[in-house]
């Protein structure tokens, strides 16, 4: 069984060697995994951690490993035996509410202060679980509070992912994943588009042969070889890349990873940070440690000079409260609105642009995108080859 597992990991482009595979086999033989399950197999959670420890040497590959592990060990199960319990997830999905446009238009949209005050009252009043309805915290209704229902602007509580992209806050701890900077590009076109933002310079140690000067010096030296070296040419442009991660950005992971890989290959001076939905008072570099290793936004503004080109990458799809309202973040109560931080960043770095992976045709239907466009002085471009070329041309001026 494990040899097929090994090939599954290799097919997922994980750098797993035969030596590491043999280490895993030896650990299994020595009884590291246990206790045994009722059917004679391993405890799957124990085996997961053992395999990850033995086979994965860099945490940036954890996401690939998780996907490959799930694909191999968690195959699709067909429920044909009606004596078995109905999966809970089926019941949850049955509660998801689908409304007509006319019904949606009749549902009340609360303001920010009213929404928060009403939620506080519901917590005090409610004593039991609710399904459906338009008032209490529950599932499958039109209340602003709960899961699997519909409200134009509500607080999502206990739902695995967004459906209508209109939640003001999300009452769950969510885990985000770092973008993979080793993603193999299917095309070099993204790199070509980024090369419009180039400014070559020769800096550092003299490591490259200057053929023309060597010939000239040798000739002037009566034929005695006189080798001349020069520093290697590098793209001297400095880029500060701020990337939205998690939530609705999960739909765009592949293309953002391609962009991230191309940017790391093209720009020698590249600094990157993550944020979620909108920039607030801190960002992070590792999504597994985003709460323990915070980088204050003020420190980032002070650390880098004005010659850095500032590039945001995000779908700008969120509740407008997240941009305009103090406390609007879906994860915590930010003291200052996201718009304030966006303005500070664009003032600190005059050369800036926003790259949006959402199709440009839907921009006009998203209020939050219009708000961000205004804050960016209309410097928002789609994540297409043409959009990248236009953004790089703007930044190179």
Residue 1 has pLDDT above 80, yes or no: no
Helix, strand, coil percentages (3-state) for the chain, rounded to 5, are 40, 15, 45
Give, in degrees to the nearest 5, the angle at Cα 128 between 124 and 133: 90
- What mean pLDDT is predicted for residues 170-198? 59
**pTM (predicted TM-score):** 0.53
Find out whether 27 and 50 touch, Cβ atoms under 8 Å: yes
pLDDT for position 234: 60
pLDDT in tens, 350-362: 999 999 999 998 9
- What mean pLDDT is predicted for residues 371-382? 95
Find out whether 112 and 169 touch, Cβ atoms under 8 Å: no
When comparing pLDDT for 310 and 13, which is higher? 310
- What mean pLDDT is predicted for residues 76-84? 35
pLDDT for position 141: 54
Q: What's the residue count for the chain?
A: 397
Query: Across the strands, what pairs with 270?
Result: 239
Q: What is the DSSP string of 81-102?
A: -TTSPPPHHHHHHHT-----HH
User: Collapsing DSSP states into helix, strand and coil, what is residue 238?
Assistant: strand
Q: Where are the domains of the chain?
A: 2-73, 88-170, 189-197+236-396, 200-233
pLDDT for position 289: 83
User: Collapsing DSSP states into helix, strand and coil, what is residue 389?
Assistant: helix
Find out whether 151 and 141 touch, Cβ atoms under 8 Å: no
Give the whole-angstrom CA distance, residue 224 versus residue 205: 24
How far from 97 is each of 176, 196, 214, CA to CA, in Å?
27, 47, 75
User: Collapsing DSSP states into helix, strand and coil, what is residue 71?
Assistant: helix
- What mean pLDDT is predicted for residues 12-16? 86
pLDDT in tens, 272-281: 999 999 999 9
Domain 189-197+236-396 has CATH 2.40.128: no
User: What value does the CA radius of gyration of the chain take, rounded to a whole number of Å?
Assistant: 26
Residue 91 has pLDDT above 90, yes or no: no
pLDDT for position 279: 95
pLDDT for position 2: 77
pLDDT for position 204: 52
How far from 333 is each of 265, 337, 373, CA to CA, in Å?
37, 10, 24
Residue 380 has pLDDT above 70, yes or no: yes
Residue with tokens 């600094």, as numbered in its chain: 271
pLDDT in tens, 20-73: 888 888 888 888 876 545 555 556 778 888 888 889 888 778 888 888 888 777
């Amino acid at each position: 069984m494990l040899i097929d597992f090994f090939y599954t990991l290799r097919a997922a482009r994980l750098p797993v060697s035969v030596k590491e595979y043999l280490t895993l086999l030896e650990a299994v033989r020595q009884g590291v995994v246990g206790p045994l399950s009722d059917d004679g197999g391993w405890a799957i959670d124990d085996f997961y951690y053992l395999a990850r420890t033995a086979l994965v040497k860099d945490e940036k590959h954890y996401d690939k490993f998780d996907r490959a592990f799930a694909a191999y060990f968690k195959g699709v199960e067909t429920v044909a035996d009606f004596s078995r319990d109905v999966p809970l997830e089926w019941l949850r999905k049955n509660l998801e509410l689908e409304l007509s446009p006319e019904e949606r238009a009749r549902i009340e949209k609360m303001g920010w202060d009213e929404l928060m005050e009403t939620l506080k009252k519901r917590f005090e009043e409610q004593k039991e679980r609710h399904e459906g309805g338009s008032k209490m915290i529950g599932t499958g209704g039109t209340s602003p509070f709960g899961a699997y229902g519909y409200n134009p602007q509500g607080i999502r509580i206990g739902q695995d992912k967004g459906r209508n992209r209109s939640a003001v806050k999300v009452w769950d701890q969510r885990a985000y994943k770092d973008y993979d900077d080793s993603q193999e590009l299917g095309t070099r076109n993204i790199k070509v588009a980024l090369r419009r933002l180039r400014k070559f310079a020769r800096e550092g140690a003299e490591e490259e042969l200057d053929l023309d000067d060597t010939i000239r010096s040798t000739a002037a030296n009566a034929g005695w070889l006189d080798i001349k070296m020069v520093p290697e040419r590098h793209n001297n442009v400095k880029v500060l890349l701020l990337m939205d991660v998690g939530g609705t950005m999960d739909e765009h992971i592949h293309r953002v990873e391609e962009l991230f890989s191309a940017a790391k290959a093209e720009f020698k001076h590249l600094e990157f940070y993550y944020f979620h939905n909108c920039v607030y008072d801190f960002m992070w570099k590792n999504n597994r440690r985003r709460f323990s290793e915070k980088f204050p936004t003020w420190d980032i503004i002070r650390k880098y000079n004005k010659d850095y080109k500032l590039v945001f990458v995000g779908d700008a799809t969120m509740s407008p409260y997240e941009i305009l309202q103090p406390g609007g973040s879906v994860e915590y109560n930010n003291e200052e609105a996201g718009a304030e931080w966006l303005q500070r960043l664009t003032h600190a770095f005059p050369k800036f642009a926003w790259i949006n992976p959402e199709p440009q045709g839907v921009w006009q239907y998203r209020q939050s995108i219009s708000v961000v466009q205004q804050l960016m002085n209309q410097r928002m471009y789609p994540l297409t080859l043409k959009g990248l070329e236009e953004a790089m041309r703007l930044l190179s001026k």
